[in-house]
């Protein structure tokens, strides 16, 4: 499979990446090179093989239902959470207007 300029533009839009026409022109052959190379996976007979879900068998744990059991991942740290925000106002993350 190979991709066209329009398809790369669509993928970039899905990935929320703004790309210029020049960047698009450069990316199309690069992505096609990579896609042509991974194409060989189609040769592998995978009949009856389940896709891997966990590389090392493990089970999903549930934590004890205790509020703030680990202060590192607990709550009540609004200001620390907002400290690295590019725009924080009134204790919230600031974003451009989303409602007309």
Partner 1 sequence: MTELTELTLAGIRDGVAAGTFSATEVAEAFNTAVADAQEALNAFIVTTPEAALEAAKKVDADRAAGRPLGKLAGVPIGMKDLFATKGVQTTAASHMLEGFIPPYESTVSQKLWDAGAGMLGKLNLDQFAMGSSNETSHFGNVISPWRRPGETTPLAPGGSSGGSSAAIAARLCPAATGTDTGGSIRQPAAFTGISGIKPTYGRCSRWGIVAFASSLDQAGPMARTVRDCAIMLEAMAGFDPKDATSLDLPVPAWEAGLNPDLRGKKVGIPREYRIEGLNAEVAKSWDDGIAWLKDAGAEIVEISLPHTKFALPTYYIIAPAEASSNLARYDGVRYGLRDLPEGANLQEMYAATRAAGFGGEVKRRILIGTYVLSAGFYDAYYTQAQKVRALIAQDFLKAFEEVDVILTPTAPSTPFALGEKRADPVEMYLNDVFSVPASLAGLPAMSVPAGLASDGLPLGLHLIGKPFDEAGVLNAGLAIEARAGFHASPAKWW
- Shortest Å distance, C-beta 14 to partner 1: 5
Q: Please tell me whether residue 95 binds partner 1 under the rule CB under 8 A.
A: yes
Non-local (6+) Cβ contacts of 79 within 8 A are: none
The DSSP line for 64-88 is -S-TTSSTTT-S--HHHHHTT-SSE
Is 42 or 75 the residue whose CB approaches partner 1 more closely? Answer: 42
Report the 10 Å Cβ neighbour count for 77.
13
Q: What are the beta bridge partners of residue 93?
A: 88
Smallest distance, Å, CB 100 to partner 1? Answer: 10
Binding positions for partner 1, rule: CB under 8 A: 1, 3, 8, 11-19, 27, 30-31, 33-35, 37-44, 46, 49-56, 58, 60-61, 63, 70, 72-73, 77, 80-81, 83-87, 93, 95-98
């Amino acid at each position: 499979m190979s991709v066209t300029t329009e398809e790369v533009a669509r993928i970039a839009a899905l990935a929320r990446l703004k790309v210029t026409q020049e960047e698009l022109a450069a990316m199309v052959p690069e992505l096609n090179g990579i896609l042509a190379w991974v194409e060989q996976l189609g040769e592998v007979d995978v009949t009856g093989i389940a896709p891997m879900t966990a590389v090392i068998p493990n089970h999903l744990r549930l934590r004890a239902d205790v509020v703030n059991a680990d202060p590192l991942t607990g709550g009540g740290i609004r200001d620390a959470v907002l400290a690295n925000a590019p725009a924080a106002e009134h204790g919230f993350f600031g974003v451009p207007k989303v409602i007309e």
